[in-house]
Amino acid sequence: MRIDVVTIFPDYLAPLDLSLIGKARRDGLVDLAVHDLRDVTTDRHRTVDDTPAGGGAGMVMRADVWGEALDPLLAVGGVLAIPAPAGEPLTQATLDSLATGDGPLVVACGRYEGIDARVAEHYRGRDDVRVLEYSLGDYVLNGGEVAALALVEGVVRLLPGVVGNPDSLAEESHAGDGTLEYPVYTRPTEWRGLEIPPVLTSGDHGAAAAWRRERSLERTAARRPDLLDALDAGALTKADRRTLARLGRVVPDGAPSPVPVTVRDAGPDDAEALAALAAATFALACPPGTAEEDIAAFVAEHLTAERMAAHIASPTAILQVAEVGTGRAEDGTGTGAGSVRGAADGATARPELAGYTLTHLPGSADAVPYADDVAAVVIARPAAELSKIYIARAYLGSGLGRLLLDSAVAATATSEVDGEPVRALWLGTNARNRRARKAYERAGFVVVGPRRFRVGDQVHDDVVMVRDLT
Ligand code: JEB
């Protein structure tokens, strides 16, 4: 591959003689030349700049000088890459395309206030030249040389034979699936009191891979949440989805990518939407074979906006909702939850309630759970009841259930009754619903006993599960 760099500071590009790139040049894998822009000038002062048209600070590099320098280098066509603070962000995808393209890569390093805009415009008009105005990031440098070094290094290491082990190319951040790389460690196993995470030295390669994947997703959520928006939902495993839910993202059924979700306490404005959600999802929670009219009657009586409003207003109820589409609080690119309600611009997508939990606190610290069979096995006081966990159909299996469950546990654990911290959270769940039981177990609930009760002529065979909050 042929690469030409044009600059008024050729010495700035000296590092291209070093290390991997220097070796690639000596091995003939890349034919790289650095040119002094001033060599094409003809005046006594070797002038390359002039004052900006229309006024303003600083100087601008002359188009005619750049034309003289670039024409011979692009005589056979190629790519003209121009570093610029206003360029498009340089990505691995761009580097990949440059490394596989043919024709020379010519990098034009500006200084001062940049290069007369007609240079890019002129070469864009040629059908044998691709012009790439790129930026390294949202900060200001003094010229294009550092960006040229970055581009050349990023491209050359992709050329066949330059990087010894091609596996190391595939494993990196930005090369793989769009997540950031996990943290890496090597000996000594203990350094200044810091240990290598034991899972990495355990010899369990499956566990190590799972740990790394979790760290990748965590880092991406913390540092580059924008990358999560572009993740391919189809490539996410169940474990990935669980991790993402903990990080405030869920993948709705059929969605291309994860979407942000926030769990918050319900307010009076949520009553209507909650009743609608409860009605829509109630049937999913019924044992198979439950009669339609029984479901309809239950919905009409219990799952009304009035009932929801009463729960929301009740000091002994904790009603939490999962809201999807409200943007992320942490990265500032979304619409913060606070700005959604009553947003004046009207352009904000309406948030959607994707699920809720309803927890009942006891009326007093020593209150006994209302059912004898529960009271017999739930010993701790005060004990709260996780009464409802509803997930909209599109979010079943999305990881939202765990997020809501953890959130209900956390809210209950920080609640007090008669000045005493709540010590247990209990729930009843169908004994034959193994999936639900497993999900509760993963959230720290343990089965403490059976529970049988009749509703009409239906016998409910439940188990009581408890989450210790102490
Ligand atoms: C690239 C450059 C200058 C306004 C202010 C300063 C040529 N990420 C990046 N930041 N800055 C640059 C860059 C890239 N790529 C960059 C080329 C030039 C800065 N300057 C200085 C120009 N306009 C001149």
Closest CA to 84 of 115, 124, 38, 123: 115
Q: Is the CB of 142 under 6 A from ligand 1?
A: yes
190-245 is a CATH 3.30.43.10 domain: no
Q: Is the CB of 145 under 6 A from ligand 1?
A: no
Predicted pLDDT at 464: 97
CA 124–ligand 1 middle distance (angstroms): 20
Strands 105-108 and 78-89, bridge-based pairing:
parallel
Displacement of CA 441 from its chain's centroid (Å): 27
**pLDDT, tens digit, for every residue of 336-357?**
333 333 334 444 567 899 999 9
2-169 is a CATH 1.20.210.10 domain: no
Mutation choice for ligand 1 from 132, 140, 145, CB with most ligand atoms inside 8 A: 140
Is the pLDDT confidence value at 417 over 80? yes
Q: Tell me which of 180 and 455 has the higher pLDDT.
A: 180
Is the pLDDT confidence value at 237 over 80? yes
Give the C-alpha distances (Å, rounded to integers) separating 445 from 360, 385, 391, 417, 469: 17, 12, 19, 21, 10
Q: Whose CA is nearest to atom 13 of ligand 1?
A: 85
Predicted pLDDT at 340: 37
Across the range 139-158, mean pLDDT stands at 98
Q: Is the CB of 90 under 6 A from ligand 1?
A: no
- Diameter of the chain measured on Cα atoms: 104
- Let me know: does 427 contact 393? Beta carbons within 8 Å: no
Q: Count H helices and E strands in the chain, helices first.
A: 17, 19
Token pair listed for 121: 């415009």
**Chain region(s) in the chain for CATH 3.40.630.30:** 248-468
Q: Tell me which of 171 and 120 has the higher pLDDT.
A: 120
Is the pLDDT confidence value at 333 over 80? no
Predicted pLDDT at 233: 95
Q: Whose CA is nearest to atom 22 of ligand 1?
A: 113
Weakest mean pLDDT among 167-181, 288-302, 334-348: 334-348
**Chain region(s) in the chain for CATH 1.10.1270.20:** 190-245
Average confidence score pLDDT of the chain: 92
Q: How far apart (Å, rounded) are the C-alpha atoms in residues 340 and 352?
A: 11
Q: Is the CB of 113 under 6 A from ligand 1?
A: yes
Strands 259-265 and 352-360, bridge-based pairing:
unpaired
| DSSP symbol at 248 | T
Q: Is the CB of 143 under 6 A from ligand 1?
A: yes
Q: Tell me which of 362 and 280 has the higher pLDDT.
A: 362
Q: Is the CB of 110 under 6 A from ligand 1?
A: yes
CA 146–ligand 1 middle distance (angstroms): 10
Q: Tell me which of 224 and 460 has the higher pLDDT.
A: 224
Q: pLDDT grade, residue 244 (50/70/90)?
A: very high
Predicted pLDDT at 168: 76
Closest CA to 299 of 285, 311, 310: 285
**pLDDT, tens digit, for every residue of 99-137?**
999 989 999 999 999 999 999 999 999 999 999 999 999
Predicted pLDDT at 175: 67
Q: Is the CB of 176 under 6 A from ligand 1?
A: no
Q: Is the CB of 196 under 6 A from ligand 1?
A: no
**% of the chain residues with pLDDT over 70:** 94
Across the range 183-188, mean pLDDT stands at 98
Give the C-alpha distances (Å, rounded to integers) separating 168 from 25, 165, 172, 174, 362: 21, 6, 7, 12, 57
Is the pLDDT confidence value at 221 over 80? yes
Predicted pLDDT at 165: 80
Predicted pLDDT at 335: 39
Mutation choice for ligand 1 from 115, 142, 152, CB with most ligand atoms inside 8 A: 142
Predicted pLDDT at 405: 96
Q: What is the pTM of this model?
A: 0.86
Residues 6+ apart with CB under 8 A from 359: 317, 318, 319, 320, 384, 385, 386, 387, 408, 411, 412, 425
The structural architecture, per CATH, of the domain 248-468 is 3-Layer(aba) Sandwich (3.40)
Q: How far apart (Å, rounded) are the C-alpha atoms in residues 15 and 12?
A: 8
Residues 6+ apart with CB under 8 A from 156: 1, 3, 20, 21, 24, 29, 30, 32, 99, 162
CA 31–ligand 1 middle distance (angstroms): 26
Q: How far apart (Å, rounded) are the C-alpha atoms in residues 364 and 416?
A: 10
**pLDDT, tens digit, for every residue of 421-454?**
999 999 999 999 999 999 999 999 999 999 988 8
Displacement of CA 59 from its chain's centroid (Å): 41
Predicted pLDDT at 460: 84
**Chain region(s) in the chain for CATH 3.40.1280.10:** 2-169
